[in-house]
Chain A
Amino acid sequence: MKKDQVPQDDANLLEGRTRDVCYAVDEKGNYVQVLSTGWEPKSVALLQAWKEINAQVDEAVHLVKTEKASPLAFFMAKCMFDVKLLSDYTDIPKRKIKSHLDPEQFNHLDEATLMKYAEAFNITPDELVNWQKQTDSPPGSGGKS
């Protein structure tokens, strides 16, 4: 890749926080570092991953709203936790986590257990229970929450 061919296809996926270091050759054929704001095929691949995640969040929202799943399901989808990972973070057995996905069981959880879950998701126990107040939009969702 030539220095002047280093793509600058900014899809705002780096959020202006940084740029990627790319290696490319200059006019004399010597390798130099060139900063890139992004590259189309790469953005397509990353947005594809987020589209999948966002679809899972939408599905979870539906399940929680219709009381077929507890708010845990929403935060697990949003924060990309499977039962195994959540168990690693909370030290709560996987079997128990599965049972807490049931709204009935979830409603009877004690403060300490709620606290463990909230900590894993980096939120407060109050935010966990009042999950509908979560308004930040995930990447690639075009602003919808």
Chain B
Amino acid sequence: MTLDFKHSQAAHCENGVTSNLLRYYGVDVSEAVIFGISSGLFFAYLPFLKVNGLPITSFRPLPGMIFQRTATNLGIKVYRKKFRNKEDSMAALDKALDAGIPVGLQVGVFNLTYFPKPYRFHFNAHNIVVFGKENGHYIISDPVMETVESLSYEELLRVRWARGALEPKGQMYYPLKVPAKIDVAPAIRKGIKKNCRDMLTIPVPLFGIKGIRYLSKKIKKWPEQLGDNKAALYLGQLIRMQEEVGTGGAGFRFIYAAFLQEAAAILHNNRLLDISQAMTDTGDRWRDFAVIAGRIIKKRSGEGESYAILSNILAEIAERERAVFSELKKFIP
């Protein structure tokens, strides 16, 4: 039994799952618009929280927020459940599939057999949709994969019960009740408004624009403070978060620019096109940052390519993004 579900690839798993699930219920909203509605753009630098001895940098809000905020802003009721027992979580999935419901699942990627091996770390906030079961194999729409995949009962159980940080505990979710008429425009306004707040006004200097400025100040001291090797490891971690599968490039900045472009058409406001262009420009600067960082990691940096230059680029990005969100804030009072 396989449901008539359309698998579309997306840059980011949670955007993709949300967009694909909503389309099944006749709500056709692109990945970029989902990202904008859910205020997906973010920046956080958390030097006190370390994974494998490297500080955490994030370009997005906490996992689960994108689906939750999209549903809230569009007035969609959501079913969401975590489990105590492994077999129960599988039985609940089968039951939903039998009832004709494609199911969103949170999974760990370490044991995700179809995933490219170099990307299989203990990361537990990946999202997929199961939309069928054939000969004991579950049919899977994983938004970062080009084609439809499948997993056996044991393989799926294993990834639903990955352990460690952000463990899924078999979590499953799907839209419960979708209103007959969806109005995207107000949801877009709400999403932009919240994103302005997140980027401009969180009163802790680790988040949003302030976080980028903070990192800009810290990064130039890394070689001296940490030594060249450790500094390069810090840099590598940063680039992985910024560019790895799922960001659409430049730490989600290009997806956000794509969102602003679509928003301009939906809200009939050409001013947003200029802001989208400015967002693209900051994305290009994030890419410049990654190019230089990559050369430093490989110890192939040329004259003038140093942590001090990276620091300057970040300071410039912070200023550009401050300008972008200040403009957006004027636009949505």
Contact = CB atoms under 8 A, between A and B. Distances in A.
Contacts of B257: 23, 31
A109 interface: no
Contacts of A24: 249, 254
A17 interface: yes
Interface residues of A, number: 39
B256 to A, nearest CB: 9
B297 A88 contact: no
Contact of A45 (B243, B248, B262): B243
Contact of A41 (B11, B117, B294): B294
User: Chain A interface secondary structure, helix, strand, loop or mixed?
Assistant: mixed
B264 to A, nearest CB: 11
Contact of B115 (A17, A19, A39): A17
Interface string B49-85: 0001000000000000000000000000000000000
A49 B254 contact: no
A42 B261 contact: no
A106 B258 CA distance: 56
Interface string A14-39: 11011111111100011101010001
A50 interface: yes
B236 A31 contact: no
B291 A80 contact: no
A13 to B, nearest CB: 5
Contact of A19 (B146, B287, B293): B146
Given A23-B249, A122-B111, A13 B116 contact: yes
Nearest to B143: A21
A35 B145 CA distance: 11
A85 B163 contact: yes
Nearest to A39: B243
B163 A88 contact: yes
B116 A122 contact: no
A48 B244 contact: no
B170 interface: no
A139 interface: yes
B298 to A, nearest CB: 5
A79 B117 CA distance: 11
User: Chain B interface secondary structure, helix, strand, loop or mixed?
Assistant: helix
Nearest to A138: B117
Given A15-B117, A31-B254, A48 B283 contact: no
A94 to B, nearest CB: 13
A85 B122 CA distance: 9
A9 B320 CA distance: 29
A40 B121 CA distance: 20
Contact of B122 (A25, A40, A80): A80
Interface in B92-135: 110-111, 114-119, 121-122
Given A48-B233, A80-B121, A42 B144 contact: no
Contacts of B291: 40-41
A33 B12 CA distance: 12
Contacts of B271: none
A121 B263 CA distance: 47
B202 interface: no
A4 interface: no
B240 interface: yes
Interface in B282-333: 283-284, 287, 290-291, 293-295, 297-298
B124 to A, nearest CB: 11
Contact of A139 (B9, B118, B237): B118
Contact of A40 (B158, B240, B294): B294
Interface in A26-70: 29-31, 33, 35, 39-42, 44-46, 48-50, 52
18 contacts: A14-B118, A17-B145, A18-B116, A18-B144, A21-B11, A22-B248, A23-B258, A31-B32, A33-B11, A41-B290, A41-B291, A45-B239, A45-B297, A48-B236, A49-B236, A49-B240, A52-B52, A140-B118
Given A1-B280, A21-B248, A80-B122, 18 more contacts: A1-B249, A14-B116, A15-B117, A15-B118, A18-B147, A21-B10, A24-B249, A29-B277, A31-B254, A40-B291, A44-B239, A44-B297, A46-B118, A46-B240, A48-B236, A49-B236, A79-B110, A140-B118
For the complex of A and B, list the 8 residue pairs with the smallest distance between their C-beta atoms, beginning with the closest. Answer: A41-B294, A31-B258, A23-B254, A88-B163, A139-B118, A45-B239, A48-B236, A21-B11
